[in-house]
Amino acid sequence: MRADFPFAAPGQVIGLLGGSFDPAHAGHAHITREALKRFGLDHVWWLVSPGNPLKASGPAPLDKRMRHARAVMQHPHVTVTDIEAKLGTRYTAQTLAKLVARYPRVRFVWLMGADNLAQLHLWQDWRQIMETVCVGVLARPGQRISARMSRAAMLYAPYRIPGRYSRLLARAQAPAWSFVNVPMVDVSSTAIRASGAWTSAQTG
């Protein structure tokens, strides 16, 4: 295994939080800490995306986003990575296929905020994602209803693990997903960008 890919021991359960992180903020850090606890994860890897395939405008340079993400998320069980740039993937289904092949004895759980569950049916090969890994969804302000009524939530309703049993997700067989009603932090990258603070930020 190449040294620039993070280490994971056989049998470990790794949560993957993909995002633009343009910029990373307290909401990302909060759901990551909650995910570690609520889904019984050993570790979380942040996948700082080369660029969301559904977003028209490109994000800030990857190295700037990585530096800032590392400053925001300092936790012994969290690693900030640019794995997708290294793998040459942008679509989550492709990323997961490559990670599963590269780490055959590791269990991956895809993590996302409720807004992403509401949109999941627009992602490339989204059903393949649901069939490949377990999915942990964390509440986000204003998104509870759209997430619960989403196409993904409806179609995969029989495979939902109730939030009170969310720790079972780590050992479940895909398809399986769980929505947890964690306390919410009302922060977004959009709002930070709109404030101008990120454009002028010199991180690192």
Ligand X SMILES: Nc1ncnc2c1ncn2[C@@H]1O[C@H](COP(=O)(O)OP(=O)(O)OP(=O)(O)O)[C@@H](O)[C@H]1O
Ligand Y SMILES: O=C(O)c1ccc[n+]([C@@H]2O[C@H](COP(=O)([O-])O)[C@@H](O)[C@H]2O)c1
Report, in Å, the least distance between residue 189 CB and ligand X. Answer: 3
Q: Give the torsion sign (CA, 146, 147, 153, 158).
A: negative
* Minimum distance of ligand Y from residue 119's CB (angstroms): 7
**Which is nearest to 155 in space by CA: 113, 114, 123, 126?**
126
Asked if 18 is part of the footprint of ligand Y (rule: CB under 6 A), the reply reads yes
By CB under 6 A, residue 143 contacts ligand Y: no
In this complex, which beta carbon is closest to ligand X, that of residue 15 or of residue 175?
A: 15
The one segment of 27-35, 91-99, 150-158, 193-201 that binds ligand Y by CB under 6 A: 91-99
- If one asks whether residue 53 binds ligand Y (CB under 6 A), the answer comes out as yes
Per CB under 6 A, residues contacting ligand X are 17, 19-22, 27-28, 31, 112-113, 115-116, 138, 140, 185, 187-190
The residues near 101 (Cβ < 8 Å, ≥ 6 apart) are: none
The phi-psi region of residue 192 (left if phi > 0; otherwise alpha if psi is between -120 and 50; otherwise beta) is alpha
User: Minimum distance from CB of 46 to ligand X (Å)?
Assistant: 9
Burial of residue 20 (CB within 10 Å: 0-12, 13-18, 19+) is middle
Interacting residue with ligand Y among 91, 128, 146, 174 (CB under 6 A): 91
Total residue count of the chain as it appears in this document: 204
Residue found by looking up tokens 């606890």 in the block: 37
**Interface contacts to ligand Y, rule CB under 6 A:** 18-20, 47, 49, 52-55, 91-93, 116, 123-124
